[in-house]
A and B are shown apart, each in its own frame.
Chain A
Amino acid sequence: MINSSLKTLSQMLADKKVSSVELTQEYLNRIDTFNPVINAYIALDKDKTLAQAKAADVRIAAGSAVPLTGIPIAQKDIFCAKGWKTTCGSKMLANFVAPYDAHVITQFDAAGAVNLGKTNMDEFAMGSSNETSYFGGVKNPWDYTRVPGGSSGGSAAAVAARLCAAATGTDTGGSIRQPASLCGFTGLKPTYGVVSRYGMIAFASSLDQAGPMARSAEDCALMMNVMAGFDERDSTSLQREKEDYTRDLNKPLQGLRVGLPKEFFAEGLDANVGKVIETAIAEYKKLGAEIVEISLPNTGLSIPVYYVLAPAEASSNLSRYDGVRYGHRAESYTDLMDMYCKTRAEGFGAEVKRRILIGTYVLSAGYYDAYYLKAQQIRRLIAQDFEEAFKRCDVIMGPAAPSTAFKAGEKVDDPVAMYLQDIYTISTNLAGLPGMSVPAGFSTGADGKALPVGLQIIGNYFDEARMLNVAHQYQQVTDWHTRMPDLEMSGQPTPQGNK
């Protein structure tokens, strides 16, 4: 049952083969067993969860169920959920109980989905390994010595280990797709503005976008039907007709033009990962796709541009954590300035501080033009690269991450190496385009462990339904997305992050 698709689970619930309470309890039992080792969840509230499951069963019995009614979903701890501790992976918010619901939470509640718990994440979504979390790292279910990716590492591990039916994530520079690649499941970052950011704790406002993390493209489509939609409380939310993301799943791919950017297959890509991607591309050819060589010449600039713009926005977004109204406040201080300094020195981890410092610097008088303005200009060039590319192809494909999951601790002291994890994903955030990662096979390392590899599919603006179709057709002829790791019952205690 735990490896079933959302569609199957929904059908089982409708047919009363299982109740939402039973299904939820099954996941809660698995969480009890495996979470102490994996550390995917950082907040659980079984009473609340089971109450939602009971309510869902009532709704199913009343015949007013919709596709996700009664389905247990894990929520990234970046979404405010009323009455739930909402920490964003930070000591700063370790004691913060949200008094209101994020739009995404409201949408899942309205659909009658069950909130299984809040998942671990890099602090304020800043990281690619989940190692910056105040609540400790997360183990990759395929190999406990490795990271699950980040920042949505908890949701990623929960989906991969089948500790939930599906999960939510957010993606500012790759935080859905890179962990999806490293943990072997399907993750989608929608077009910027498709999912409301209201109640989603901000990292970099112009880049942050929530999306689904699930087994398959079809599951992601069902999740999108709940998550997407206009919300007047988010000024960057796009006013569009409600769409059914499952509508094109079964279209054939004959004549699909797949663009392969040469920059995505250059130096820096692990050779074994490259081979898996090539095999996947070959599969697409069999499905009738045409391959088009394209170029995204400014790809190399995406990381420097991102590490100007994202920290700039973050330095301002994180100013509200000052100890005055909520969250952490230093125990003792001499005056206001001392209170600010101690509170923020204690409340934020090293990576968050690093980005606040960078962001403050690039926005400072005398540096703004050289960094922030220049980065905005290049951002437009990166978007233009895609605009040109999409004149010649329908979707773009390549690796989602340059390597398979790396060892915990391996890149903790090398921020630039860590930042390069997002080399293939960041440019889509800068352009506001949708991107996804689809399980495409495994790469076996020197230690003999087979680790998942994700194929990235990038679409044009609002082309999510087509991307899901492209992924779904691949998943009809491959079974990578159904593979699940054999979970070990024990492992080393989860390494503590950035304390």
Chain B
Amino acid sequence: MEWEVVIGLETHAQLQTKTKIFSGASTAFGAEPNTQACEVSIALPGVLPVLNKEAVNCAIKFGLAVNAQITPRSVFARKNYFYPDLPKGYQISQYELPVVGKGVVTIQVPAVGKNPAYEKVINITRAHLEEDAGKSVHGAVEGMSGIDLNRAGTPLLEIVTEPDMRSAAEAVAYAKKLHELVQWIGICDGNMQEGSFRCDVNVSVRPKGTDKLGTRREIKNLNSFKFMQQAIEFETRWQIETLEDGGTIQQATVLFNPDTGETRAMRSKEEANDYRYFPDPDLLPLEITEADKARVRALMPELPEAMKARFEADFGLTSYDAASLTSSLNLANYFVATVKAGADAKPAANWVMGAVSAKLNAEEKSIAESPLSAEQLASLIKRIMDNTISNNAAKQVFEAMWAGEGEVDAIIEAKGLKQVSDSGAIEAIIDEVLAANAAMVEEFKAGKEKAFNALVGQAMKASKGKANPAQVNEMLKKKLGA
């Protein structure tokens, strides 16, 4: 039987506000334990929450960015459970009426092997505001557990998708897209190591062609895209094997162990909490007007979709290229800076998405960490445009510039990669090639088009790749009377 995997994501994005969602305590990461825990963070008797308007603005930005309906009147609810790092014994979240309703995120799924790249629309079910819990600290004091409440009350936006993804690659593409988007609109720093962006992945499988969803298991707290890919692939295989062996899947929460590459059930559904959600009587419903939305919209940068359309219109880029370049704000800015520095848009796009991206991937760097500036890349592209070097030679120059060996002209000079455009020199080479390859000339004259290309190749080879290919072509045609 052929199986289909069905995946939905729940992502917690920590919002970039100076203070906590319901108090004035700082949200800065890495402070000494409990130094950012005010009376509200500790949940002293008698304290009350006051909503941080900045957190609401972040939610509105996200809603606008995914074309979602922003709920005019959403409600904060208490999610009740006992845990030492949850000071009030309940988490303030949103339940029945979230601040952001249905929206969409368009993802680009990269080519894998023979399968070409494609675009897909992922539906957002909802996004809601909530507070983070504190942290348990084990081992700081021998034989005891400590509680650090610095993080308690940090604002989170939980973003939930429909079960729209059908492969680990799609899930990762979505997670990456979302990761870039929340940074693009400036609501989350995207730092996965510090836990600013955490994903829970719901995975189920079903026979291909059927509609009914299988029983899902939720992989909790994935904090890297690599782990997400591995975890989903393992989980999918495990579920399929379990079903093929005649077993059944129990709804469960599972953890991914990066050391073994396996997922393991943490708790089953039967042990799940009854959270006893009810509207928080300490907070009024959150009302968002059209004016609020307009005010926030005015503060937002150009969104990826708009920038993509602009790239297509202004630069004549394909939809896929424009989408790739606008997959992150830094990448888009790098591209724009390259064009601004004088490079033509199409080669600039090709270089940014091709050689530059490949290098960054290989070195696991972000575009912000690129050793090659946009201006440097433009200087290289300009040397191709003015025929100083060939495309092939440009690759060598690129490698050298990337390695920090110097600026473009110096490298061309040092490596002797300057293209030969002197027609006398090229003519001399062509004459030599024609004399040495009489048989090929005959073949061409007999009508074999391929022989022409072979002759071009011979001429390029004779020039050690330095001859201007366009000139070689032209002169060869003339000589052969073609």
Binding site for B on A (CB under 8 A): 79-80, 86, 88, 93, 96, 98-100, 102, 197-202, 204-206, 232-236, 312-313, 315-316, 318-320, 322, 324-326, 336, 340, 360, 363-365, 368, 372
Contacts and interface: CB of A to CB of B under 8 A. Distances in A.
A80 B48 contact: no
Interface stretch (B76-84, B236-244, B318-326, B400-408): B76-84
Given A235-B51, A312-B278, A336 B46 contact: no
Interface in B346-368: none
Contacts of B46: 79-80, 98, 102, 197-202
A320 B282 CA distance: 15
A321 to B, nearest CB: 8
A218 B129 CA distance: 46
A324 B45 contact: no
A320 B48 contact: no
Contacts of A86: 45
B110 interface: no
Interface string B34-52: 0000010011111111110
Interface string B87-116: 111100000000000000000000000000
A326 B48 contact: no
A158 B201 CA distance: 60
A236 B90 contact: no
A201 B50 CA distance: 16
Nearest to A208: B281
Contacts of A235: 48-51, 282-284
B450 interface: no
A234 B48 contact: yes
A100 B44 CA distance: 9
A319 B45 contact: no
Contacts of A232: 50
A320 B43 contact: yes
A460 B20 CA distance: 37
Contact of B284 (A198, A236, A324): A236
B23 to A, nearest CB: 9
A324 B147 contact: yes
Interface of B: 39, 42-51, 78, 80, 82, 84, 87-90, 147, 274, 276-278, 281-284
Nearest to B80: A316
Contacts of A312: 278
A315 to B, nearest CB: 8
B281 A325 contact: no
A220 B39 CA distance: 31
A237 to B, nearest CB: 9
B281 A80 contact: no
Nearest to B283: A235
Contact of A319 (B42, B47, B82): B82
A319 B278 contact: no
A198 B48 contact: yes
Contacts of A96: 45
A322 B278 contact: no
Nearest to A309: B281
16 contacts: A79-B46, A86-B45, A98-B46, A100-B39, A198-B47, A200-B46, A201-B46, A235-B283, A319-B88, A320-B87, A322-B89, A324-B84, A325-B147, A364-B274, A365-B276, A368-B276
Given A235-B49, A235-B283, A324-B147, A316 B276 contact: yes
A372 B277 CA distance: 11
A319 B90 contact: yes
B274 A365 contact: yes
Nearest to B22: A235
Contact of B276 (A318, A324, A363): A363
A235 B51 CA distance: 8
Contacts of B276: 315-316, 360, 363-365, 368
Contacts of A326: 42, 44
Contacts of B82: 319, 322, 340
Q: B-side binding surface: helix, strand, loop or mixed?
A: loop
A263 B287 CA distance: 38
A205 B39 contact: no
Contact of B50 (A98, A102, A206, A233): A233
B44 A80 contact: yes
A391 B277 CA distance: 37
Contacts of B282: 202, 205, 235-236
A320 B84 contact: no
A325 B89 contact: no
Given A86-B45, A198-B46, A235-B282, 13 more contacts: A80-B46, A98-B46, A199-B47, A202-B45, A205-B281, A233-B50, A316-B78, A316-B276, A318-B89, A322-B84, A322-B89, A325-B42, A325-B43
A100 B38 CA distance: 11
Contacts of B80: 315-316, 319, 363
A320 B274 contact: no
Contacts of B89: 316, 318-320, 322
A372 B78 CA distance: 14
B48 A197 contact: yes
Nearest to B79: A316
Nearest to B45: A201
Contacts of B277: 363
Contacts of A204: 281
A315 B89 CA distance: 10
Contacts of A99: 39, 44
Contacts of A88: 45
A313 B281 contact: yes
A320 B284 contact: no
A235 B52 CA distance: 11
Counting chain A CB atoms within 10 Å of each CB, which of B42, B45, B46 scores highest?
B45
Nearest to A80: B46
A134 B89 CA distance: 23
A316 B278 contact: yes
Contacts of A197: 46, 48
Nearest to A339: B84
A74 to B, nearest CB: 18
Contact of B48 (A79, A93, A233): A233
A378 to B, nearest CB: 16
Contacts of A206: 281
A363 B51 contact: no
A234 B78 CA distance: 17
A80 B47 CA distance: 10
A232 to B, nearest CB: 7
A333 to B, nearest CB: 13
A227 B139 CA distance: 47
A79 B39 CA distance: 15
A149 B83 CA distance: 37
Contacts of B51: 235
A485 B278 CA distance: 46
Nearest to B40: A233
Contacts of B90: 316, 319
Contacts of B84: 322, 324, 336
A96 B44 CA distance: 10
B278 A368 contact: yes
A80 B82 CA distance: 24
Nearest to A361: B276
Contacts of B50: 232-235
Nearest to A92: B45
Contacts of A320: 43, 45, 87-89
A325 B50 CA distance: 22
Nearest to A100: B39
Nearest to A200: B46
A316 B44 CA distance: 14
Contacts of B47: 198-199
Contacts of A365: 274, 276
A32 B277 CA distance: 48
B2 to A, nearest CB: 37
Contacts of B39: 99-100
Nearest to A324: B84
A411 B129 CA distance: 46
Contacts of A324: 84, 87, 147
